[in-house]
């Protein structure tokens, strides 16, 4: 039966494919397709993993028997249940089917079937049986561990389509930004999550992957079944489950139209971003990893305006990258841009980008907690390591350092002192390093209101509108229940942005916007009218924004932009 779910449109385009449900805790298992001739080997891996786990449990049971049955009766009963689950035909047959018919690798097949069986447990009337779900999860965990001990040689890059040639759509309760990175070269053509907002980092990574995504769909992961056919409309924020043939035809058409539009835009790739009145506009790329410089250059970015270095720190069990590893990553990004400037933002962990050792739910208000520069200053040894790596990378090209979330003059002083210390340490080692310009992100309302103070201490500023909006409007950017209140066109937000741009211009210091507003084509004219000449965004947005730039005359936009900012309802004026 067809039904439609609504959420936040976060990454444009249409994906049509089969749903793959993944439990949040298990999205990090390997997802890849095996070749038809490898099916037998993969089933063999599963069999051996099961035998290993059965042996493990048998050994535990025997140990208990030696210890005296009385004391361990409950535990023995539990192990008995685990053994039964391991032999459960429904689990075994289902896993086998995923491998045979869909050509999923063993780990993926196991977690796909876990979702199917776990739901059936959830629906059981009997509370005792319902609780067996936890046992099932433990059994699957043991099997995954056994499979890990026997790694598959087949984990190669795979096309975004199942064995039947159908694309796949990942449906999960939540995906962390690190999970998303995991899928960078993965198999999914679309994403749907229950939670999240438009500027959550998960959404930002989805956009950078150019994969249609809808987040904040509340109970999508409950309502959608494994293998359901779904349409993800990343423009409208709609997910259609089990669509009719007519809907499929309509969305198939829309999908092809989108491809044609994107194709057309590539014609302006080499056209300089100059407005009708001759203003040169700098269009920069936001990147997460050094290899993202390739797509950035492919769309004609004239530099990197934001390298979110925290992605080098995530998804590694809390172990921090050392100086050499960071230096190597930053140098690769700098060299990848072939002489164009690269703005490296110091690590911004915390809030919705937790390190494993620094989880989001540890604190009541993680977005207001030890995040970004606050964390860096609380861990000076870690921060110095990063600063040294950045300074060394600056010997290979033009590098700017960008400090996230500054709000206090004391932070500014400490940053400059630590930079001086990092240089001293490099001098003592005789290491080669280069000059850097140092900039501040203006993303806390206090910093926007006192921006003149910060302009005195920094070479440039970059407006982080994602956080600026979050903090100005008191809206958690990852909370779907308040997502409708997250408004870049709120008069207070516009005033903060407009005043910050004006103050930087008065001070003669470069200013750019690197939040999602910079890549939103509906806001390009407004930002141009406010005097902005530098925009940093996902590579995917550069050409659509350039198209707007080429059609704009900033002389005509100036007075109108001021009217929009002064208006009670800016959105109405913008729509005209
Ligand atoms: C911002 O806050 O606008 C920004 C660019 O930084 P991030 O999205 O990484 O917090
Ligand atoms: Mg930010």
Backbone dihedral angles phi then psi of residue 278, each to the nearest 5 degrees: 85, 15
Say how far apart CA 438 and CA 457 lie, in whole Å. Answer: 9
Say what the pLDDT of residue 119 is: 81
Q: Which one of the ligands is nearest to 535 CA? A: 1
Q: Where are the domains of the chain?
A: 3-25+152-254, 36-148, 268-575
Mean pLDDT of 501-517: 98
539 CB within 6 A, ligand 1: no
Q: Which residues are annotated as a binding site for Mg(2+)?
A: 443, 467
Beta bridge mates, 69: none
Cβ–ligand 1 distance for 443 under 6 Å, the answer: yes
Q: Which residues are annotated as a binding site?
A: 308, 345, 443, 466-467, 477
Say if ligand 1 is within 6 A of residue 570 CB.
Answer: no
Residue 239, beta-bridge partner list: 5, 232
Closest-approaching ligand to the CA atom of 468: 1
Q: What is the pLDDT of residue 160?
A: 45
Among left, alpha and beta (phi > 0; psi -120 to 50; other), residue 474 is left
Helix (H) or strand (E) holding 143: helix 132-148
3-state SS string over 384-426? HHHHHHHHHHHHHCCEEEEECCCCCHHHHHHHHHHHHHHHHHH
Ligand 2: centre distance to CA 298 (Å):
26
CB 326 within 8 A of CB 308: no
Q: What is the pLDDT of residues 192-218, one digit of tens each?
A: 999 888 888 778 878 878 889 999 998
Q: Is the CB of 17 under 6 A from ligand 1?
A: no
Ligand 1 atom at minimum distance from 372 CA? 10
Report, at the CATH architecture level, how domain 268-575 is classified: Alpha-Beta Barrel (3.20)
- Could you identify the atom of ligand 1 that is nearest to the CA of residue 308? 9
CB 58 within 8 A of CB 64: no
Distance 332 CA to ligand 2 centre (A): 24
The answer on pLDDT for 361 being more than 60 is no
Examine the pLDDT at 159 and tell me if it is beyond 50: no
352 lines ligand 1 (CB under 6 A): no
pLDDT value of position 140: 86
DSSP 127: H
Residues with active-site annotation: 201, 514
pTM greater than 0.75: yes
More confident call, 24 vs 571: 571
Ligand 1 neighbourhood includes 465 CB (under 6 angstroms): yes
Encoded tokens for 45? 């891996």
CATH number for the region 36-148 comes to 1.10.274.10
d(C-alpha 203, C-alpha 10), whole Å:
6
Q: Please state, rounded to an integer, the average pLDDT across all residues of the chain.
A: 89
Phi then psi for residue 437, to 5 deg, are -95, 145
Q: Which residue has the least CA distance to atom 6 on ligand 1?
A: 464
CB of 348 closer than 6 angstroms to any ligand 1 atom: yes
Q: Which residues place a Cβ less than 5 A from the ion ligand 2?
A: 443, 464, 467
Q: Which residues contact 333 (CB under 8 A, 6 or more apart)?
A: 287, 290, 293, 304, 307, 342, 344, 393
Yes or no: is domain 3-25+152-254 CATH 2.102.10.10?
no
Check: CB of residue 96 under 8 Å from CB of residue 39. Answer: no
- Best residue among 180, 197, 199 to mutate for probing ligand 1's pocket (most ligand atoms within 8 Å of CB) is 199
Tokens at 330, concatenated = 């930053």
Reply yes or no on whether the pLDDT at 26 is more than 80: no
**pLDDT (tens digit, 9 = 90+) per residue, 323-354?**
999 999 999 999 999 999 999 999 998 777 77
Residue 11 has pLDDT above 60, yes or no: yes
Q: Percentage of the chain with pLDDT > 70?
A: 91
pLDDT band at 265 (very low <50, low <70, confident <90, very high): very high
DSSP designation for 321: P
Residues 199, 201, 207, 212, Cα dihedral to 10° = -90
The reply to whether domains 36-148 and 268-575 share a CATH topology is no
Rounded alpha-carbon distances, angstroms, from residue 148 to 48, 319, 349, 393: 12, 20, 29, 36
209 or 539, higher pLDDT: 539
Report the atom number in ligand 1 closest to the C-alpha of 515: 3
């Amino acid at each position: 039966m067809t039904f439609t779910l609504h959420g936040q449109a976060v990454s444009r385009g249409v994906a049509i494919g089969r749903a793959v449900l993944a439990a949040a805790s298990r999205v990090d298992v390997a997802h890849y397709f095996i070749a038809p001739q490898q099916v037998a080997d993969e089933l063999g891996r599963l069999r051996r993993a099961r035998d290993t786990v059965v042996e493990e449990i048998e050994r535990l049971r025997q140990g208990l028997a030696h210890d005296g049955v009385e004391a361990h009766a409950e535990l023995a009963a539990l192990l008995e249940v685990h053994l039964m689950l391991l032999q459960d035909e429904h689990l075994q047959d289902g896993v086998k089917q995923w491998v045979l018919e869909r050509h999923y690798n063993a780990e993926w097949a196991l977690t796909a079937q876990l979702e199917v069986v776990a739901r059936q447990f959830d629906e059981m009337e009997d509370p005792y049986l319902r609780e067996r779900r936890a046992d099932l999860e433990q059994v699957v965990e043991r099997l995954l561990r056994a499979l890990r001990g026997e790694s598959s040689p087949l984990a190669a890059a795979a096309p975004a389509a199942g064995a039947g040639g159908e694309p796949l759509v990942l449906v999960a309760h939540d995906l962390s930004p690190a999970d998303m990175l995991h899928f960078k070269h993965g198999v999914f053509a679309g994403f749907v999550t229950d939670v999240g907002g438009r500027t959550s980092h998960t959404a930002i990574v989805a956009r950078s992957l150019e994969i249609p995504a809808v987040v904040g769909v509340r109970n999508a992961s409950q309502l959608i079944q494994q293998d359901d056919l779904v349409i993800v409309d990343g423009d409208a924020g709609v997910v259609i489950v089990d669509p009719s043939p007519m809907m499929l035809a309509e969305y198939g058409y829309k999908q092809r139209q989108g491809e044609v539009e994107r194709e057309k835009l590539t014609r302006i790739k080499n056209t300089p971003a100059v407005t009708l009145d001759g203003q040169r506009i700098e269009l920069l790329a936001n990147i997460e990893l050094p290899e993202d410089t390739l797509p950035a250059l492919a769309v004609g970015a004239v530099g990197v305006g934001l390298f979110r270095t925290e992605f080098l720190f995530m998804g590694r069990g809390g172990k921090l990258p050392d100086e050499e590893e960071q230096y190597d990553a930053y140098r690769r990004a700098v060299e990848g841009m072939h002489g164009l400037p690269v703005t490296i933002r110091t690590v911004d962990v915390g809030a919705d980008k937790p390190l494993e050792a620094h989880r989001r739910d540890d604190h009541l208000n993680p977005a207001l907690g030890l995040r970004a520069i606050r964390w860096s200053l609380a861990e000076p040894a870690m921060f110095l390591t990063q600063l040294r790596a950045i300074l060394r990378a600056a010997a290979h090209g033009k590098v700017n350092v960008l400090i996230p979330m500054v709000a206090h003059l004391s932070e500014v002083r400490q940053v400059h002192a630590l930079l001086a210390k990092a240089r001293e340490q490099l001098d003592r080692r005789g290491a080669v390093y280069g000059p850097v310009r140092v900039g501040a992100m203006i993303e806390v309302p206090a910093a926007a209101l006192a921006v003149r103070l910060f302009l005195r201490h920094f070479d440039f500023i970059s407006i982080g509108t994602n956080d600026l909006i979050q903090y100005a409007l008191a809206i958690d950017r990852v909370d779907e229940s308040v997502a409708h209140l997250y408004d870049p066109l709120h008069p207070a937000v516009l005033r903060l942005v407009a005043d910050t741009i004006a103050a930087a211009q008065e001070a003669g210091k470069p200013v750019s916007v690197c939040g999602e507003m910079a890549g939103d084509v509906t806001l390009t004219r407004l930002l141009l009218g406010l005097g902005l000449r530098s925009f940093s965004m996902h590579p995917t947005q550069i050409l659509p924004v350039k198209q707007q730039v080429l059609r704009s005359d900033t002389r005509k936009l100036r007075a109108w932009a001021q009217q929009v900012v002064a208006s009670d309802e800016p959105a109405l004026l913008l729509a005209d």
